[in-house]
């Protein structure tokens, strides 16, 4: 089975690299896996308003394992310690800046090399959370090539990697597999809702409002019916969060000129509780967005997303790949604040 997985991964990588040779270079070429900027993902919005996506073919062609920055990153952790302790340290590092994220990735890779990290599922996860999307994509493909059942979160991460590079058909194909390989009850319903919500995000970014509406509606329908043993008190909030994404689709643009100046508060469920924002309106524009949160690994989404909203003067902006939940919470909370200010369709 290991040989089969490696073969599939190699074929995927080879196919993309073959295509990369035919793709002409252009100004503003996409960043390699060594660069951690441009961490964008999908959220409800129009494709025309999205930033240009990096090329997966080019990223795969440039991929080195370990990456070129590896030698310059100092590891300040005793890698002789057991993985159960190391993984906690890695998660703390992933909540920091780029330097700390790269140290986290290097530590993870070192443990993977010596085969001391459980079943290995955390290698692609931490690559993903650390912004190494093409490397994470290859590792997720390797793990998911047998199409295992119940690995919903990994399917969602792989789909996000593809969406990061604008490979929407591949992202949707991954999510289709996820729907067919859901976990058994009692978690089946909630995970099915998660997948439909993510499919809605993909369709929204593609500009397919009908497709987004269909899958957001399915997620809203499913969440309250989950019989999961814990976390049921959050299901209504999860459904409400998707409802807001559906509501945002109905706004072609924000008419802010009629809204009175002032500061307005909004909140939405994030990964570690409510994400709260204070939106300041001044002279018919969003002048400032302040965020309060308890998120840990949020890849600076609580700063990047407000900046994007202010620049766009709208809510149809990219999320941060690897921090989609936090990004959507900021967008939703901002929407709630604007409605308090009197925003109408």
Task: Check whether 46 has a pLDDT greater than 70.
Answer: no
Helices (H), the chain: 2-20, 56-62, 83-94, 98-113, 122-129, 133-144, 152-164, 168-180, 188-206, 209-222, 235-249, 301-312, 324-340
Task: List the structure tokens of 228.
Answer: 């999961």
| Cα 219 to Cα 176: distance, rounded to the nearest angstrom | 15
pLDDT tens, residue by residue, 159-183? 999 999 999 999 999 999 999 999 9
Residue 8 pLDDT = 38
Q: Where in the chain is the domain with CATH 3.90.1010.20?
A: 262-340
Residue 26 pLDDT = 30
pTM, full prediction: 0.79
Q: Taking a C-beta distance cutoff of 8 angstroms, is the pair 151, 144 a contact?
A: yes
Distance of CA 69 to the CA centre of its chain: 23
| 199-to-169, 182, 214 alpha-carbon distances in Å | 11, 15, 9
User: The dihedral of CA 208, 275, 304, 33: what is its sign?
Assistant: negative
Q: Which residue has 């996860």 as its token pair?
A: 125
- CATH fit for domain 176-249, picks 1.20.58, 2.20.25, 2.40.50, 2.30.230: 1.20.58
Average per-residue pLDDT for the chain: 86
Just give the CATH number of 262-340: 3.90.1010.20
When mean pLDDT is compared across 26-35, 91-100, 101-110, 292-301, the lowest value belongs to 26-35
pLDDT tens, residue by residue, 116-147? 898 899 999 999 999 999 999 999 999 999 99
| Cα 178 to Cα 162: distance, rounded to the nearest angstrom | 14
Q: Which whole number is the average pLDDT over 196-223? A: 96
Q: Taking a C-beta distance cutoff of 8 angstroms, is the pair 226, 189 a contact?
A: yes
When mean pLDDT is compared across 96-100, 108-112, 181-185, the lowest value belongs to 96-100
When mean pLDDT is compared across 32-46, 81-95, 286-300, 312-326, the lowest value belongs to 32-46
Q: Where in the chain is the domain with CATH 1.20.58?
A: 176-249
- Of 274, 272, 304, whose CA–CA distance to 289 is shortest? 304
Distance of CA 185 to the CA centre of its chain: 25
Long-range interactions of 143-151: CB distance < 8 A, separation 24+: 143/5, 144/174, 144/177, 145/4, 145/5, 145/8, 145/9, 146/1, 146/4, 146/5, 147/177, 147/180, 147/181, 148/181, 149/181, 149/182, 149/183, 149/184, 150/181, 150/182, 150/183, 150/184, 151/121, 151/181
DSSP state of 30: P
When mean pLDDT is compared across 120-134, 151-165, 187-201, 294-308, the lowest value belongs to 294-308
Task: Check whether 226 has a pLDDT greater than 60.
Answer: yes
* pLDDT-derived band at 320, boundaries 50, 70, 90: confident
User: The dihedral of CA 115, 121, 124, 128: what is its sign?
Assistant: negative
Three-state DSSP state, 211: helix
């Amino acid at each position: 089975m290991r040989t089969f997985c490696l073969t599939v991964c190699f074929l995927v990588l080879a196919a993309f690299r073959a295509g990369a040779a035919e793709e002409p270079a252009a100004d503003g070429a996409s960043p390699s896996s060594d660069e951690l900027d441009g961490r964008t993902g999908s959220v409800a919005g129009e494709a025309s308003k999205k930033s240009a996506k990096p090329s997966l073919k080019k990223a795969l062609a440039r991929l080195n394992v370990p990456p070129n920055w590896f030698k310059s990153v100092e590891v300040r952790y005793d890698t002789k310690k057991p993985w159960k302790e190391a993984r906690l340290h890695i998660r703390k590092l992933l909540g920091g800046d780029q330097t700390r994220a790269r140290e986290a990735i290097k530590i993870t890779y070192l443990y993977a090399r010596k085969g001391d990290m459980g079943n290995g599922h955390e290698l692609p996860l931490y690559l993903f959370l650390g912004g190494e999307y093409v490397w994470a994509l290859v590792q997720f493909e390797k793990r998911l090539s047998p199409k295992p059942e119940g690995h919903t979160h990994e399917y969602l991460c792989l789909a996000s990697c593809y969406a990061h590079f604008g490979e929407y058909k591949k992202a949707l194909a991954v999510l289709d597999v996820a729907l067919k390989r859901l976990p058994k009850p009692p978690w089946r319903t909630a995970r099915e809702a998660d997948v439909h919500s993510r499919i809605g995000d993909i369709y929204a970014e593609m500009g397919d409002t009908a497709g987004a509406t269909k899958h957001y509606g399915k997620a809203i329908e499913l969440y309250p019916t989950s019989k999961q043993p814990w976390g049921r008190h959050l299901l209504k909030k999860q459904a409400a969060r998707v409802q807001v994404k559906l509501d945002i689709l109905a706004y072609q643009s924000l008419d802010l000129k009629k809204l009175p100046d002032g500061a307005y508060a909004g909140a939405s469920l994030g990964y570690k509780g409510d994400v709260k924002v204070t939106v300041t309106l001044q002279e018919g524009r969003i002048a400032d967005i302040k965020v309060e949160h308890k998120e840990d690994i949020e890849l600076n989404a609580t700063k990047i997303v407000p900046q994007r909203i202010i620049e766009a003067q709208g809510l149809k902006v990219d999320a941060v790949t690897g921090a989609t939940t936090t990004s959507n919470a900021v967008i939703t909370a901002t929407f709630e604040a604007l409605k308090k200010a009197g925003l109408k369709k």
